[in-house]
Amino acid sequence: MNKIDTIKIRELPLLPDILLHLNRVLHSKSVTIDAVNTIIEKDPALTAKILKLANSSYYGLSYLVGTLKKAITVLGFNTIRNLAVTVSVSGVFTRNPHRSIDVQELWHHSIGCAIASKSLLSKKDPVIQEKAFMCGILHDIGKIIIFLNLPEDTKKILDKIRGNKFLTQSEAERELLGFDHSDLGSFIAEKWHFPKELACSISLHHNPEQFASFTDKLENRNEAETLIYSVYAGNQIAKAMALGTSSDPLVSNINPVTWEKLGITEKNLPSILLKIKENFRDVIDSWNM
C-alpha cells in the first residue's frame, strides 16, 4: 500500500475499541456468547442500537428480543458483529463535509449493496451470508476517507466522472491519486482486524475476475471468491435499482460468469431482486439510519 502512504492519508477512521476487541475475539474458535456479551455491554448506547436493529422487521423475529445476550443467541456472532459495525460505520459516513456529495444517499447505497450481496447468497450457509453483508457495508468506505482527506482531489475526481459518463470513479481516482477507493478500503479493513477475505472482497469488488491471479494467503479461497462476486453483483444491483445513490452512477453489465459463480439462474433472479427491494425498504424505514 505504498501508494496510499505516499499520498499521506492523514485521517483513517477508528472503530471504537470495543469493536476492535470484538473483531479479535471473534477470530477465536472458542469464543462464547458470554464473552461477546461482556465486550459489547460495556457500551450501553451501542447495545441499545444493536437491540433496535435486531428487532427490526428485516430479521423477521417472531418475538421481541429484550437483552443483548438473547440477541447474540438468536442471531449469532456474525450478525451481531454486522450490527455493531453498521452502527459505527454509519457515523463515519456522516462526517464528510462535501456539499456536492449526498453522504446519506451514499450510506443508503452501502446498505443496499449489503442487502443485495447477502440476498444473492440466500441458498448458502448463513455465516457466509452475514460475511457478504459486512463486505457490502464496507465496500465503499475508501470513498469517504478520500473525501475527508483530499477535498481538492475529490472535486477533481467528481468533475472528471461527471464530464465523462463512460469513466468510472475508480479510473478517475487511479489517474489522479495512483490508487482507488477499493485499495484504500481494503487497507482500512486490515487495519480494523477484519478477516483477509473481507479485505480481499473490498479490493476486488469492481474487478472480481482478478481473483484468479490473487496470490495472498486466504483461509478459504472458495469462500473468498464467492464473497467477491456477491459484492460485485450486489454493488451493480444496488446502483441499477436506485437503492441509495452511489457517487459513481455508472452501472456495468454483470458478466454471466458471475451468476454461475453464485449459483443463480435466470429463473430465480427476479424473485431475488424483488426480495432485495423489499428488504431495503424495511431496513431504511425501521433502522432510521
- Each residue's pLDDT tens digit, 178-195: 999 999 999 888 888 888
Any idea which residue has 472458495 for its cell?
222
Q: Which of 92-101, 113-122, 176-185, 186-195 has the lowest mean pLDDT?
A: 92-101
**pLDDT value of residue 6:** 47
**Rounded CA separation 13/191 (Å):** 10
Q: What is the mean pLDDT of residues 56-84?
A: 90
pLDDT-derived band at 212, boundaries 50, 70, 90: confident
Average pLDDT of the chain is: 88
Q: What is the mean pLDDT of residues 253-276?
A: 93
- pTM for this structure? 0.89
Span 139-162, pLDDT tens digits: 999 998 888 788 888 889 999 998
Instruction: Dihedral sign for Cα 138, 50, 53, 23, please.
Output: positive
Q: For a pLDDT cut of 90, what percent of the chain falls above it?
A: 54
Cell digits for 177?
491519486
Residue range 99-289 in CATH 1.10.3210.10: yes
**pLDDT value of residue 9:** 57
**pLDDT value of residue 13:** 62
Q: Is residue 164's pLDDT more than 70? A: yes
Q: Which of 289, 263, 3 is nearest to 146 (CA)?
A: 3
Q: Is residue 2's pLDDT more than 70? A: no
Domain ranges of the chain: 13-93, 99-289
Any idea which residue has 464473497 for its cell?
227
Q: What is the mean pLDDT of residues 163-183?
A: 92
CA 73 to chain centre: 24
**pLDDT value of residue 220:** 86
Cell digits for 229?
462476486
**pLDDT value of residue 217:** 75
